[in-house]
Amino acid sequence: MAIVIRIDVELARRKISVGEFAERVGITPANVAVLKNGRAKAVRFSTLEAMCEVLDCQPGDLLEWVPDDPARAMPHDKR
């Protein structure tokens, strides 16, 4: 998968449980699990905004693009 979800890292940093996070964001714990496990096909911007608000972070803290083929990756200074 090319997009890696890092919700678990941010939850651990803030010591927030999945249940509390789900309640504060307004989604079910099952949907949090779908996101965390990389099974989500899409994320609504309104949900992403709520997650960032709850975690006081930027979207890039939660989502990372990782190329399937490492040879395709560009060094950061060439983007």
pTM of structure: 0.81
In whole angstroms, give the CA distance from residue 43 to residue 62. 11
Q: How many CB atoms lie within 10 A of CB 10?
A: 19
Angle between helices 45-55 and 7-14 (to 10 degrees): 30
Domains in the chain, CATH or no CATH each: 3-69 (1.10.260.40)
* Per-residue confidence in pLDDT tens, the chain, 79 aa: 589 999 999 999 999 999 999 999 999 999 999 999 989 999 999 999 999 999 999 999 999 998 887 666 666 655 4
